[in-house]
Homo-oligomer: A and B are copies of this chain.
Amino acid sequence: MNFKSDNEAPAHPAIMDALVRANEGYATAYSEDRFSRELDARFSEVFDTECNVLPIATGTAANSIAIAEISPPWGAVMCHELAHIHNDEGGAPEFYSAGAKLVPLAGDHGRLQAQPLATAIDAAGRHGVHNVKPCIVSITQATECGTVYRPDEIRGIAEVARERGLALHMDGARFANAVSWLDCHPAEVTWKAGVDVLSFGVTKNGAMTAEAIVVFGRPEWLAGMERRRKRGGHLLSKMRYVSAQLLTMLDDDLWLKLAADANARACQLARGIADSPNAALEWPVEANEVFMRADPERLQALKDKGFEFHIWPGHDDLARLVCSWATSEEQISQLIGALY
């Protein structure tokens, strides 16, 4: 039973259907197809503002291309010390940006906080060309700890950034889970809160492979991003298949429904852990990831029973359990049962 990652689950049937439909007939290559050309309008509708959208196959590429467009090679990207861009992308942001520096910051539950962020930015660039120049704040929504930024937290961070001339990037690999948990309009945690660019991910949420860079109110970034996408080898000749997945996710709020299902499973699991005498929650569960403390022997016992999950690096008593659209209530019950 797989709780290792939402990216190990299959794609949702609606996605497979969409691919089959998208496969009918010819389509102009290199993102000039009818699906890709519809993206701007559909995302603008969903986000309730004019936005520009670049479909792209992976979140690492989406994050890196966004960062590289905004930051010069001598820029600094302020991010949480657990940020995926800093720890898990093999240096892709540095590669795309030709050497920008990621500055890792502490923060409870995976979240940056406005005040320490302000202090860090002010300290980072004070010696002109001798330092790197803070250019971007990047936050992850939902965070790497499975928690979620509230709209006012984002506004606070955005204000710190804007006052200092930095842009605000949001890594939204699990953006749907965050929006679903907050039960808010997606605009509330993005452009209305001061986010300039969002890596909108649906691969983890039930797509096959589909992400999008969504740019709010900065159309001047598009041309450079398109160049960077091409040079990164991410301008798929048959982009229609990526774009069709994105459109399908937006249809009837499928993206939010799948996220709600995954979140509900995580919530059910969290309750079970909280009730168990043998395990404890490490962080509040606000999306589809559950971090559970338990004796290493108990964790091993769970693995022996066929439950698959990751041990948090360097912490042999901390397990990460991820739910997806494909996780069933029955599976959660079994896992909870095994905790006793």
Contact = CB atoms under 8 A, between A and B. Distances in A.
A229 B230 CA distance: 15
Interface in A1-48: 2, 4-5, 7-11, 16, 19-20, 23-30
A74 interface: yes
A74 B227 contact: yes
A131 B101 contact: no
Interface string A97-113: 11111100000000000
Contacts of A8: 26-29
Contact of A23 (B16, B72, B87): B16
A54 B324 CA distance: 28
A57 interface: yes
A101 B91 contact: yes
Given A226-B129, A232-B232, A7 B123 contact: no
B130 A230 contact: yes
User: Which of the listed residues A61, A127, A237 has the most CB atoms from chain B within 10 Å of its own CB?
Assistant: A237
A298 interface: no
A243 to B, nearest CB: 12
A190 interface: no
Chain multiplicity (copies): 4
Given A58-B237, A233-B58, A238-B209, A98 B127 contact: no
Contacts of A325: none
A53 interface: no
A90 B230 contact: yes
A226 B130 CA distance: 10
Contacts of A229: 129
Interface in A220-245: 224, 226-227, 229-238, 241
Interface in A109-151: 123, 126-127, 129-133
A60 interface: yes
Contact residue range for chain A? 35 or more
A94 interface: yes
A227 B76 CA distance: 13
A180 B179 CA distance: 52
User: Which of the listed residues A11, A27, A58, A91 has the most CB atoms from chain B within 10 Å of its own CB?
Assistant: A91
A314 interface: yes
Interface of A: 2, 4-5, 7-11, 16, 19-20, 23-30, 56-62, 64-65, 72-74, 87-92, 94-102, 123, 126-127, 129-133, 203-204, 208-209, 224, 226-227, 229-238, 241, 313-314, 326
Given A62-B233, A90-B129, 11 more contacts: A4-B28, A8-B27, A9-B26, A58-B237, A59-B237, A88-B130, A97-B99, A98-B98, A126-B313, A129-B227, A232-B232
